[in-house]
Amino acid sequence: MSTEPNTTGAGTEAPQSHAFQAEVARLLHLMVHSVYSNKDIFLRELISNAADACERLRHAALTDPSLLGEDTEFGILLEADEAGRRLVVSDNGSGMSRQELIDNLGTIARSGTKAFMDRLGEGKDGTALIGQFGVGFYSAFMVAEKVDVISRAAGSSEAWQWSSDGLGAFTVEPAGDDADVPARGTRVILHLKDDAASYARPATIERIVRAYSAHVPVPITLVVLPAEDGEESEPRRLADGTALWTRSKSEIGEEEYREFYGHVSGQFDEPAMTVHYRAEGRHEYSVLLFVPSMKPFDLFDPDRKGRVKLYVRRVFIADDVDLLPAWLRFVRGVIDSSDLPLNLSREMLQHNPVLDAIRKGVTNRLLGDLQKLSESDAAAYEKVWETFGPVLKEGIYEDFERKEKLLGLARFRSSSDSGQSWRSLHDYVADMKENQTQIYYATGASLEAIAASPHLEGFRARGVEVLHLSDPVDAFWVQMVEGFEGKPFRSITQGAAELDAIPVSETESDADKKAEAGDTDIGLVTAFLKETLGERVSDVRSSSRLAESPVCLVAPEHGPDRQFEKLMSRQGDGRARLAPVLEFNPSHELLSRLSSALAGSGDKGKLADTAWLLFDQALILDGEVPADPVAFARRLSAVMGRGL
């Protein structure tokens, strides 16, 4: 790495002051005034930015070698000046122009900043979020009272200096003649606060680099600046830039994997699973991937982009290539191909048979390793599923080829064990009741709402297990699968329950209720409710799925599941909702009394109010509101008045 004085003669231009973007100003205030549990990470973030700049230039030089000039060896230089309370992080990477300094260090054009501050507002630890949200440069203000950034873009004759104390504004001016201006790349100069002076000590710097940045793909060198004798120390190599993924697994310890995971993920959690191997044969490539134990902040970003870095023979190519399907977007790491050309265009990245083969092979390997984890350490796997299950379930309806594997990996809460344990579909099928031929499930907005649903009553009375599906994606994938191990899926809110063949475990009170059901004229009640409710229902029938509640709503036999229909309605797909089926419980006292009143000389107007109240009650139990709230309130008041 080399430097040279600025000879452009542009140093006479007056500094121009700029205000930080409002969100950046707020972010800096949080950085400066909040107390973080671990300020060390600022150096990791600056080193990571420097390594990225080197990797960007390495890639750009593939098409324009002149950008490198004679300086072809990339490196990161750390300069420790303990006496002057300064720490400098330099690189000979791509560098920045004047406008790039303003855009990159004064504004953030992505939503990461707001999301980061929202998480801080929730009481989250800031140090665990900084790198994750792409705001790493600003962490420098945790330890620095002033930051200068001197940068020269590769191929440019102009160098510029950005300066700020982090209090609301920054200046940009041509780098002066006396500044230590890089021939190419960027120097970040931290003027440390009094209470952060230790970060200029060589021992502190070496400790942090070895803990967080030992495996960046660019060498890191430390120089201790002159003390009183005026002589610099010998440069010390802190990291050799060796690509960890090229080494054998037997040579790498868990701590090294953890350090590299922190580098590629920007997170501070422990990886839940590490996948490291080299594929040989028709295509040769190295893989080092990690499944996090904490959700990345952008897990549900609408773009659904992955964050696996693509290298070709250790040359960084891109970090936004679809190397894995979208339903594995939480995976972090590196894939390094020996077969791809270095001059890959965007079009070639999108349509390349080698990449397609790599994507297929790596995806299958990840699923295989997840399956092994589920068999060898069920508790560890269940934590992975609890964190990323909603994303993995996207693959069930997106990836036909791997649908069966994903169904085998899926875990569910259910009515078994009060929903406290995770259940696999293998578990469910093995425990099916006598005469049970279907896998029953219930969808809903939350596990609590599902557990309280009246639709479960008949299943509970027969001891039939029901899967509780509360993720929004559940309403979609169940429409796309035929079944599992020959057993079809069936929503408990759709069509006839078909429970009659499964015996009920009757108690004495259950027998009494069944006797009471004999007093209910099912045909008379059915005809009356149909006539009164008209087009609001597609059918009315006696229910085998109700045991305690008087009524419930279900979807028609061949229509969409109730929850799926609700989701589609909210998304405004333009389809008219189908009228539901009203099922009533003939054993319930309300229906028995309604039957008696209909058989006698009951007030038809009052009986009509009862029918509508039963329908509105079913709507409320289904998580909806009465179609006519005013009429509902009037009828309810009238009934209450008669009762009092």
Binding residues: 45, 49, 91, 96, 104, 111-112, 132-137, 186, 346
CA 352 to centroid of chain Cα atoms: 27
Tally of CB atoms within 10 A around 515: 10
Please give the torsion angle defined by the CA atoms of residues 55, 56, 57 and 63, in that order, rounded to the nearest 10 degrees: 110
H or E segment to which residue 50 belongs: helix 41-60
d(CA 561, CA 557): 9
Nearest to 46 by CA among 111, 126, 143, 128: 143
By the 8 A CB rule, do 144 and 167 touch? no
* Assigned token pair, 347: 């079009």
Sequence-ordered list of residues with C-beta below 8 angstroms from that of 243, at least 6 positions apart, any chain: 215, 217, 311, 314, 334, 336
Give the residue ranges of the annotated binding site for ATP: 45, 49, 91, 96, 104, 111-112, 132-137, 186, 346
β-bridge pairing 332-337 and 285-291: antiparallel
3-class secondary-structure state, position 603: coil
**In this structure, which amino acid lies at residue 493?**
T
φ and ψ at residue 221, rounded to 5 degrees: -120, 140
* Assigned token pair, 539: 């059918």
534: left (phi over 0), alpha (psi -120 to 50) or beta: left
Sequence-ordered list of residues with C-beta below 8 angstroms from that of 225, at least 6 positions apart, any chain: 79, 80, 81, 83, 84, 86, 232
The DSSP annotation for 423-464 comes to B-HHHHHHTPPTT--SEEEEE-SSHHHHHT-GGGHHHHHHT-
By the 8 A CB rule, do 616 and 632 touch? yes
d(CA 370, CA 395): 14
Nearest to 40 by CA among 143, 134, 110, 124: 143
The DSSP annotation for 280-346 comes to -SSS-EEEEEEE-SS--TTTT-TT---EEEEEETTEEEES-S--S-GGGTT-EEEEEESSS-SS--H
Nearest to 75 by CA among 171, 218, 216, 173: 218
Tally of CB atoms within 10 A around 309: 22
By the 8 A CB rule, do 575 and 485 touch? no
Tally of CB atoms within 10 A around 101: 22
CB-count exposure of residue 240 (10 Å: 0-12, 13-18, 19+): exposed
The DSSP annotation for 13-46 comes to SPPEEEEPPHHHHHHHHHHHHS--S-TTHHHHHH
By the 8 A CB rule, do 536 and 627 touch? yes
Q: In what order do the strands lie in the sheet with 413-414?
A: 413-414, 467-469, 439-443, 489-491
